[in-house]
Amino acid sequence: MVEKVEKRIKELRNLIDFHNENYYEKDAPLISDFEYDKLMQELIRLEEEYPQFKTMDSPSQRVGGRPLDGFPTVVHTVPMESLNDGFSKEDLLNFDATVRRLLPAGEGQAVEYVVELKIDGLSVALEYENGVFVRGSTRGDGTVGEDVTQNLRTIKTIPLRLKEDIPYLEVRGEVFMPISTFIALNEEREALEQPVFANPRNAAAGSVRQLDSRITAKRGLDIFVFNIQQISGREIHSHKESLDYLKSIGFKVSPTYKIFDNIYDVIGEIERIGESRGQLPFEIDGAVVKINSFTQREVLGSTAKAPRWALAYKYPAEQKKTKLLDIIVQVGRTGVLTPNAVLEPVRIAGSTVGRATLHNIDNIVSKDIRIGDNVIIQKAGDIIPEVVESVKEDRTGREKIFQMPRNCPACSSQVIREEGEAAVRCINPSCPAQLIRNIIHFASRDAMNIDGLGSAIAQQLASSSLVKTGADLYYLTYDQIVGLERMGDKSAKNLLAAIESSKTAGLDRVIYALGIRHVGSKTAKSLAEHFVDMDKLSEATFEELSQIPDVGGIIARSICDFFKNPSTVDIISKLKFAGVDLTYEKTVKDERFAGLTFVLTGTLPTYKRDEAAAIIESFGGKVSGSVSKKTSYVLAGEDAGSKLEKAKTLGIEIINEEAFNSMIR
């Protein structure tokens, strides 16, 4: 039996590796995502049942592991140097002249350059022993980085085992997020009312540095490897040879790298890349020129800051002049009204642009942008078109000053602009422009916790006009949802059961689920504890709300505005009629932990962190995310990290799960 299991595990690993190669390297998938997931789930199940067969190079390691408290540091034995930058043809000619001057007579006349793409991402080092991936780290300051091995394992284009069992290899690569993935991620975050990422580079860097590698695994990251830092067991003599070799043993390298024997052809290649960068599926911020010969690199050496044998050419943001025909206002999924420029179409950075963001009214006023102006536009990060400035000298006097609307374009409700904020916002909970985001938030884990109601189902419910607010979920029928895409008999019954179960979630979760501006889960709980039922909360005055801990003037005003809205009254009525519990019952057994603050760290043997936190709060205690002098106890489990060390330094009492159980008996 055990032999059969071991054989099946090997078969599954080979199958998954084969399909990974076809999908990620050859762009030619042979099976569906569903079939791939079935293979992976079978492998994970068998490895959990037979842990003696689980290895570091198993594809199962890509799904992410338990959260960390922090990242250990890594000292780079070979420094991860930065490159000198060039911005013009003259900079490239000067670089070439310096290289030829520093090389010995004769050798300086035989220089080969390799030109490759400069990917805009996060630089990392990958280490392999006997062909197996053992450690991955960030660049950091070039000398000391962070150990992010667990997160890098989740990137499917990083090989966990090479095609050659080389004794030791350290390579350097650039982790990036494809543009399509970046756009989808920001749309998802906006729908959940989370901060969006400014650009793909920030998204990639933030994803690699997640303490929970399961989040990294969902971010769709990719990598190009571009350098050998250290190698034993093989001799490599040139950069092109190194890239060819890395490609042959399973790494994904730059999609284009060409050799040239003169700087003028190098300049031509850089110009060609610049003209085509708008069509690339990932973001680049330049091209890199490197000496091909490793012998010549050794002769040239490095300065205190960067190697003399390479130059990073940075492309300027391409700008074009066009006419601003109109300004239209769109309502985002968070209720923010965003002015957008309607332009005479113009081609820029590889695509034709007819719309551009104007961000907010303050931006329009400060730049004095008017309808009818000639304007300068560029693509921020080569992705999002934006208006840089108006060309005031081109004005004819017929231009119009723009004003933001006083009512929401989507639902006609009055809009607000809170003090200190640039955004103008619609706070109508029934606004159709915000519908999908509101449904997703309403059903989320910290709100009503309706299992199975994700973004795909929310979009179908909205587009089918079955749901207009979160309250409408409680009036769905089996016949209405069973015909939706991917919603069969069992799925429909499970969703309806989850909706029914959520009726007893309690007042604090309902308050949070309503999506009141500035009201998070903690504030929602404070409100529920204070007012006990929804009617009392909805009738509370600004003065009453302002006196509650965790509620200041801004939050109090937001709550008052929310409950004044007629749509809110309708939603509350629907929730009542559907039988949703709109009361709060504090479940404190006794006050034994009153005045005590706990910090949780590491993995506990039996409790999940949120379970332990709920127990502490049920006894009147508080749970904090950081250790300070005010901390009463640190409840530590396996692999406790920096919080445990800080607790020891401050002399805070440290307890394990056994001691904790004794305290709550």
426 pLDDT more than 70:
yes
- Tell me the pLDDT band of 223, cut-offs 50, 70 and 90: very high
- Residue-level pLDDT at 465: 86
Q: What is the CA radius of gyration of the chain?
A: 29
Residues making up the chain, counted from first to last: 665
pLDDT band at 565 (very low <50, low <70, confident <90, very high): confident
Angle at 52 between CA 50 and CA 55, to 5 degrees: 110
CA distance 233 to 170: 12
**Quick one: pLDDT at residue 478?**
92
Q: Which of 384, 379, 388, 389 is nearest to 316 (CA)?
A: 379
Over residues 254-268, the pLDDT tens digits come to 888 999 999 999 999
The one catalytic residue in 7, 10, 38, 118 is: 118
Pair 142, 112: CB distance under 8 Å = no
Neighbouring C-alpha atoms within 13 Å toward the C-beta of 134: 13
Within 10 A of 533 (CB to CB), how many other CB atoms are there? Answer: 13
Q: How far apart are CA 148 and CA 82, in angstroms?
A: 20
Q: Would residue 210 be called left, alpha or beta, if left means φ above 0 and alpha means ψ between -120 and 50 degrees? A: beta
Q: With contact defined as beta carbons under 8 Å apart, do 102 and 299 qualify?
A: yes
Q: What is the mean pLDDT of residues 122-151?
A: 92
Cα distance between residue 138 and residue 173, in whole Å:
10
Nearest to 309 by CA among 99, 89, 103: 99
For 380-393, what is each residue's pLDDT tens digit?
655 678 898 999 99
Mean pLDDT over 334-347 rounds to 88
Pick 586 or 558 by higher pLDDT: 558
Token pair for 500: 């029914």
- The DSSP secondary structure of 524-565, one letter per residue, reads HHHHHHHH-BHHHHHT--HHHHHTSTT--HHHHHHHHHHHHS
Supply the DSSP string of 154-193, one letter for each residue. T-TTS-SB-SS--SEEEEEEEEE--HHHHHHHHHHHHHTT
- Report, at the CATH architecture level, how domain 85-314 is classified: 2-Layer Sandwich (3.30)
CA dihedral defined by 564, 520, 652, 69, rounded to 10 degrees? Answer: -170
Note the pLDDT of residue 34.
Answer: 63
For the question of whether the overall pTM of this predicted structure is more than 0.75, the answer is no
Give DSSP secondary structure letters for 215-267.
Answer: HHHTS--EEEEEEEEEEESS---BHHHHHHHHHHTT--B-S-EEEESSHHHHH
User: Helical H runs in 370-466?
Assistant: 435-443, 455-463
pLDDT of residue 617: 82
pLDDT for res 339: 93
Q: Is residue 650 within 8 Å of residue 629, measured between CB atoms?
A: yes
For residue 175, give the nearest of 115, 242, 229, 226 by alpha carbon: 226
How much is the average pLDDT of 346-356?
Answer: 78
Percent of the chain with pLDDT over 90: 42
Classify domain 432-578 at the CATH superfamily level.
5' to 3' exonuclease, C-terminal subdomain (1.10.150.20)
Q: Thinking of the domain 319-394, which architecture would CATH place it in?
A: Beta Barrel (2.40)
Q: What is the average pLDDT value for the chain, to the nearest integer?
A: 86
CA distances from 638 to 104, 105, 664 (A): 59, 62, 21
Residues with Cβ within 8 Å of 425's Cβ and at least 6 positions away in sequence, in order, are: 334, 335, 336, 337, 415, 416, 417, 418, 517
Distances (CA, A) of 16 to 9, 61, 203, 304: 11, 12, 27, 45
What torsion do the CA atoms of 117, 120, 124, 125 make, to the nearest 10 degrees? 10
Largest CA distance in the chain: 90
Interval 590-603: pLDDT, tens: 788 888 999 988 87
Q: Which fold has domain 597-664?
A: Rossmann fold (3.40.50)
- 641 has pLDDT over 90: no
Most confident among 22-36, 145-159, 410-424 (mean pLDDT)? 145-159
- pLDDT band of 333, cuts 50, 70, 90: low
Q: In this model, does residue 642 exceed pLDDT 80?
A: no
* Model confidence pLDDT, tens digit, residues 281-325: 898 889 999 999 999 999 999 887 789 999 999 888 778 899 999
Neighbouring C-alpha atoms within 13 Å toward the C-beta of 30:
10
Distance of CA 451 to the CA centre of its chain: 23
Contact assessment for residue 36 and residue 105, using Cβ atoms and an 8 Å cutoff: no
Q: Which residues of 317-335 are buried (b: 16+ CB within 10 A; e: fewer)?
A: ebebebbbeebebebbbbb
**pLDDT (0 to 100) of residue 191:** 66
Residues 6 or more apart whose Cβ sits within 8 Å of residue 438: 429, 469, 470, 515
CATH 3.40.50.10190 domain locations along the chain: 597-664
> Can you give the pLDDT at residue 192?
66
- 2-54: CATH topology: Helix Hairpins (1.10.287)
- The pLDDT tens digits for 500-555 are 999 999 999 999 999 888 888 878 888 998 899 999 999 999 999 988 877 878 88
pLDDT at 28 over 80: no
Q: How confident is the model at residue 193 (pLDDT cuts 50, 70, 90)?
A: low
Strands of the 132-138 sheet, one edge to the other: 132-138, 122-129, 168-176, 222-232
* pLDDT exceeds 60 at position 423: yes
Higher pLDDT, 188 or 570: 570
Please report the pLDDT score of residue 157 as a whole number: 93
pLDDT at 159: 94
Q: Please determine, for residue 405, whether its predicted confidence score (pLDDT) is greater than 80.
A: yes
The span from the CA of 571 to the CA of 293, in Å, is: 71
Distance CA 428, CA 622 (A): 34
Helical H segments across 349-448, by residue range: 361-366, 435-443
Give the pLDDT confidence of 431-453 residue by residue, as tens digits. Answer: 887 888 789 889 988 899 998 88
User: Which segments of the chain belong to CATH 3.30.470.30?
Assistant: 85-314
Query: Is residue 118 flagged as an active site residue?
Result: yes
CA-nearest of 527, 526, 525 to 535 is 527
- Phi-psi category of residue 474: left, alpha or beta, with phi > 0 → left and psi -120 to 50 → alpha: alpha
